[in-house]
Amino acid sequence: MKTKLLFAFFASLFLNFSQSQTTINIYDNVLFYDGYAGLVNEPTSPGVFRLRNDLFTTKLTQPQLESVGSTLRVDITIYASCDNYDRIGNVNLVLVPKGDASYNTATAKKIEIGRFITPFMNMNISPTEVPYTFTVDNVAKILKDSALNAAYDFWVEFEVFGVPYAAQTQVAGCSGRTDVFYGTMDFVTNTDTTVPNDTFLLNLNFKKDLNNYQVGATDVIGQTIRTINYTLPEAITNSKYYFITSNHGSNSGGEEYNRRVHYIYHDDVPLLSYIPGESTCEPYRIYNTQGNGIYGATPRTPAQWQSFSNWCPGAVIPIRTLNLGNLTAGNHSFKITVPTAVFTGAQGYIPVSLYLQGQGTALGLNDFNTYTYDIYPNPTVDIINVRATEIIKSYQLVDVQGKVLLSKVYNDTNLKLDISNQAKGVYFLRMTFDKGANTEKIVKE
């Protein structure tokens, strides 16, 4: 009897758990092509757009956004085609101005929410697929935030760079082919929709290479160091840095095969030091079916892996977090330095992605440009006044469902907006300037 009761208890737990999960398919078996070639002319599924041979994008629909709960997991499966080497892949969340039908991926506001490395796969040898999982509960807060939803549409980019040239001669059936990988992506979330609604988000560095030999890739030529300065218009609470780094460049003595200590500073105070790489890459050997996969047929000891491996072919690159707590309004800085890095022959790079997320009344992802403005009173019962240093080109008043209530082309530095006929609640005022656009949260009392 006790055995039956225990079985029923655990069965009930499993059933409740499985029922609490929702899977949202984002990409279904999309095909990536040679990243160095011109854009291929191959059809895609409705709503899926190929921006480059290595990059797809799709906009999250309203039903998909409504399905997101308080947790979020990204599940990716990469399937072998005609690339048999280890390559880098990414998942990017793009925030596009509300209603825009497209965007320029080179200039769009985006954050990297996942990075992974493909294994050395042979499409003729099983297994021909490799799974990756990212837990990004903080991204669920972004997707559920009403202010961000009022200002932006959310697009998800799926990026896998591949090159077919080696496989064309080394893998049977790949001669003359330029397709490199297939990929599928799902969002897995729970049904709990109790999510804080005051998310602040600021992208600080999107996949910008760090090295010691290029202008713009380092603060000082000859040193591997980057300082990112930013200004917060208002104080935020519960703030964290989310950042991803990985070391690339297969030159002898370079960064891909040498572990270096990375140092992280906030406002010039040291907060973290770490050495990239896992304790062993052996768990990923099963996916490395190509003859040269995982650097040879003989297993290595953990000590051997730790002596040189910055990442494992077939593995996820860690998303590192730094809890900053409460941050005051004003100037702040993030700094990363790898003082012993050696870029032999001016080769190699460390792509760094970084964003700041927290809670506060200020709406995130505003462009901190040269224009400034005062907005008052807020909260208000009737009138909102805006006094700006640059001409306001247009404005929109939007409710929390994203419905545009007022919209007008404008041409003045001062704005007086009467919202006395609107119901009490939260609204968003979107303003465009010559040098950008901002959205402010308005409270009507």
Fold annotation for 198-276+288-368: Jelly Rolls (2.60.120)
Look at residue 371 in the predicted model and tell me its pLDDT. Answer: 55
**Following DSSP, what letter does each residue of 132-157 receive, concatenated?**
EEEE-HHHHHHHH-HHHHHHEEEEEE
| Residue 14 burial (C-beta neighbours within 10 Å; 0-12, 13-18, 19+) | exposed
Tell me if 404 sits within 8 A of 341, measured CB to CB: no
Look at residue 1 in the predicted model and tell me its pLDDT. Answer: 46
Question: How far from chain centre, in Å, is Cα 171?
Answer: 33
Look at residue 365 in the predicted model and tell me its pLDDT. Answer: 54
Report the DSSP beta bridge partners of residue 409: 394
Question: How far from chain centre, in Å, is Cα 8?
Answer: 41
Identify the segments of the chain with pLDDT beneath 50.
Answer: 1-18, 367-370
| CA distances from residue 78 to 70, 161, 289, 358, 363 in whole angstroms, order as listed | 27, 12, 14, 32, 36
Residue with tokens 């079916």: 289
- The domain ranges of the chain are 20-190, 198-276+288-368, 373-444
Question: How far from chain centre, in Å, is Cα 380?
Answer: 36
Tell me if 421 sits within 8 A of 412, measured CB to CB: no
Q: Give the long-range contacts of residues 190-195, CB within 8 A, separation 24 or more.
A: 190/20, 190/21, 190/22, 190/69, 190/70, 190/71, 191/20, 191/21, 191/22, 191/69, 192/20, 192/69, 192/70, 192/71, 193/69, 193/70, 193/144, 194/70, 195/69, 195/70, 195/140, 195/141, 195/144, 195/145
Supply the CATH classification number for the domain 20-190.
Answer: 2.60.120.1570
**Following DSSP, what letter does each residue of 185-203 receive, concatenated?**
EEEEEES-----S-EEEEE
Look at residue 2 in the predicted model and tell me its pLDDT. Answer: 44
Task: Dig out the tokens for 429 from the structure.
Answer: 């005022």
CA–CA separation, 78 and 74 (whole Å): 13
The type of residue at 284 is Y
Fold annotation for 373-444: Immunoglobulin-like (2.60.40)
pLDDT tens-place string over residues 262-272: 999 999 999 99
Task: Tell which residue, 148, 75, 65, 141, has the closest CA to residue 109.
Answer: 148
| CA distances from residue 18 to 14, 72, 76, 191, 220 in whole angstroms, order as listed | 6, 15, 19, 11, 52
Look at residue 17 in the predicted model and tell me its pLDDT. Answer: 46
20-190 and 198-276+288-368: identical CATH topology: yes
Task: Dig out the tokens for 434 from the structure.
Answer: 């010559």
Task: Tell which residue, 234, 235, 211, 237, has the closest CA to residue 224.
Answer: 211
SS3 383: strand
Tell me if 231 sits within 8 A of 370, measured CB to CB: no
